[in-house]
Structures are given as C-alpha cells and as structure tokens.
A and B are shown apart, each in its own frame.
Chain A
C-alpha cells in the first residue's frame, strides 16, 4: 500500500499538483487518470522518487519515502519495478541482459539462478525464446512485455506503469492490461498505472484517481465510473465524440 498526503509540486511559479491525498491499495491495479497536463506523470514521478514533492508525504506501507536512510532506500528500491512509456530497454543489451540487469547489479545470485529467473519471467509474459534478441529487433508490444518482465524479475512489491498502452494497437493494449492485472493479483503487489486509456479504466481499474488541473477530482472503482455524477469524470470519459454518440444512442 502507498499512501500520499497533501502532495504539492511546483516548477517555479507553476503549481502542477495542489494537495493530493490518495491511497494506492495492495493487490489492486490503481489507476491515475486525467487529461494531458493534469499532473499524472508528475505524480507518478513523485511516487517513484524521480521528483521530490514541494510539500506532502509519500508512505510506502509505513515508511516515509522522502525521509528514508540510504540503506532503507536501497532496500526499498529493490521492491520497486517500473514499466516506462517508451519501455526504457537498454539498446546495447539483449533481452536477456536487460532482464538480468537488476539481478547482476544488486544480487549475489548464481548464473544458473539468474538464468532460471529470466526464463521464468519471460515465460510469464509469453515471450520465451527471444533471449538473444536486441530491443530494436522486436515489436513495440513485445518490448512492453520485456519491460514488464524486467520490472517483475526481482518479485517487486510495487509496480509502476507509465502509459503502458501508448503506441499499441487496441488488441495488444488489452493483452498488456490483462497481463498487468493478472500479475498484480498473482504477486499481490501494489500496481499504479498512469493512463488516459478508457478501456484500461473500464477493464482493470480497481481503484481510480482522476486528476484535474493538479487536484484530485474523483476517486472510485471501475464499477462506479458510468454511474457517477462527477462532471470532471463525465467530461473525461465522454471526451470522444464516438463515445458521446454511443451514449446518446444507448439513452434513446
């Protein structure tokens, strides 16, 4: 579980986040949604420690993330996995080397153990047999899966995904969403996804936080989305004319 309280973030005069309180629950896919410029990416970067909030606290279980000792931070880092929007796979390394990287860097596992782990996670994301390929030799969807494999190889307690569906076709998007959701349940981890993909919201949104102009505009579950009277959420969901038409037809 991650609990954030009164998170503010400013860049010079520009206040991007204006006092966000939220609880990202364990064993659930927690979604941060909102329009472009709402502050989703900044919030996600604060959660993983790439930005420091101007004010407020981030608690991992009961650990205050920005007041940890170096040792505590190093230990916590091992429990965090992240899938980036552009995958962030290292170009000069093969798929196997990419997945092995956190193990090579921070564990004393034997080569055999590392190999077993690589194969285990590649099998989990249905990508067996591509160990020797370089990221440039596989498709965007495959790169996402490899990114997920690298993120979960050390059995993290927290998984962060920055727009996991961007640049993917609808079918692959659904597959990636399902995979993240399954892994979340399987490993009982706290997953936080930053997205503006409505399909993700409706399919895997166990716990959703809507940001609007740097403020928390709505929170709830996917089952509550369609029934809400919240104007911000309504505007966000039906921003697409196609969905608006569908809704009008359904109402008729």
Chain B
C-alpha cells in the first residue's frame, strides 16, 4: 500500500512538469479556461448558494442553543457565525461539495476522453494533453472557487440572520452588532489561502484520476469516486495544516 501511495505521489508530482509546459496556441488555452470558468463558476452557483444558506442558519441556531442562558451576550451569535463561516465552514464545506460536483465531473470528462481516444488523437497532432486538458481547469478553478467561497461566506452570514432575526430569536441590532465586533481582516486572508489551496487540490487530484484511467466504464466510475474521496481527504488534511501554520 505504501509503495502504491509513493508511486502515485511520484507520478502526480512528475506529471506537474508536463502540465506547465504549454504547447500550441495561447488563444486555445484562453478559450478553454473561459469555458471551464463558466462550468465551475456558474455551474456550481446554485448548489453553493443553497448549502451556504443552511450552513449559516444551522450554525446560528446551534450556537444560540449551546451558548444560550443569558451568560453570553446575544450579539456574540453574529460574531461567532461570521468568524466560523469565514475561517472554516464556508471554505471547507464549499470545497468539499465542489470536489463532489466539479472534481468528479473533471475526472469523468478527462477519463472519458482517454477511453474514447480523444487524448490519443490530440497527442498524435502534437498537443501536450496534460497541459491543454488540465492547466485551463486549474487556472479556472483558482479564479472561480475563491469567488464562490467569498460568496458562500456572505450568504452563510445572511442565512444565520434569516434563521435567527427572521424568526424573532434575536434582534437585527444584536446580530449586526455581532457582525461588526472584533473583526479581523486576517481571517479573510486565511479564507483566501484555504480556498486557493483547496481549489488546486480538488482540480489537480481529480484531473490526475481521470487522465491516468485505464479500462472501461467500471474503472472510469472508480476513478471518479477516487477523485472525490482523495480530494476530500486532502482538503481536510490541508485544512488542518493551514490552520496550524496560519494561527501560530
């Protein structure tokens, strides 16, 4: 098992040298990047919005339940919801969901191209397929996923507002006072670093699984599943590592 892990790690790292070797027209890369941006960004907007509203709503209700009793001031709910969503929940939830939606799609798309000989066709033409098929996806993800995460954080805070102020649990004034209290812009920086790192992980790991797929439809399904599982595990591992490094 360790030798397999090392084999894939080595191949994954070695493969990166190919990804950044651009061959052919920049215009084609640009066009493909825009297409990927649309697919990742617009294509994931609805699911990200739905999840974010509920993340914020549930966080606000759970926190108020656990800290209720009058010991903690009401406005702390807004403050905790804001920081939890910005530092952790919006970015991690969004990227775990995107690993499932976007990551599995990328693995299936590239794996399907491998099986239908599209990759062979491009290679015979002289295209560096590692680069042309993967780099636009990585660039698109690095731009769009942080934007989705920022949006998710905002919508989560709104979700918390709707669940508490909207139902009369707290007042508008106390929730918004909490949102403005103890704000540290460093947390936004942490969210950005996490979103960029997770975007890179979920894209490159998923593309790796699709690119090197062998066999038929069963293997393609397995590769797609592996793309999601490995991306999720790595996202959680790097979530911990970034938290350690950036909060010391």
A residues neighboring B (CB under 8 Å): 48-50, 73-74, 77-78, 80, 82, 84-86, 88, 90-91, 101-102, 104-106, 160
Contact = CB atoms under 8 A, between A and B. Distances in A.
B126 A74 contact: yes
Given A77-B124, A77-B125, A102-B125, A88 B117 contact: yes
Interface string B118-143: 10110111110000000000000000
Nearest to B126: A77
Nearest to B121: A88
Nearest to B112: A91
Contacts of B233: none
Given A88-B118, A106-B25, 12 more contacts: A77-B124, A78-B126, A80-B124, A82-B121, A84-B117, A84-B120, A85-B117, A86-B116, A86-B117, A88-B120, A90-B118, A106-B125
A104 B125 contact: no
B123 A105 contact: no
Contact of A105 (B28, B116, B124): B28
A228 to B, nearest CB: 33
Nearest to A102: B125
A86 B27 CA distance: 28
A50 B120 CA distance: 7
Contact of A49 (B118, B121, B124, B127): B124
B136 to A, nearest CB: 13
A64 B28 CA distance: 31
A12 to B, nearest CB: 14
Contacts of B116: 86, 88, 91
B248 to A, nearest CB: 45
Contacts of B27: 104
Interface string B12-48: 0000000000011101100000000000000000000
Contacts of B125: 77, 80, 101-102, 105-106
A84 B121 contact: yes
Contacts of B121: 82, 84, 88
Nearest to A84: B117
A35 to B, nearest CB: 22
Contacts of A73: 126
A85 B118 CA distance: 11
Contacts of B24: 105-106
Contacts of A80: 124-125
A48 B25 contact: no
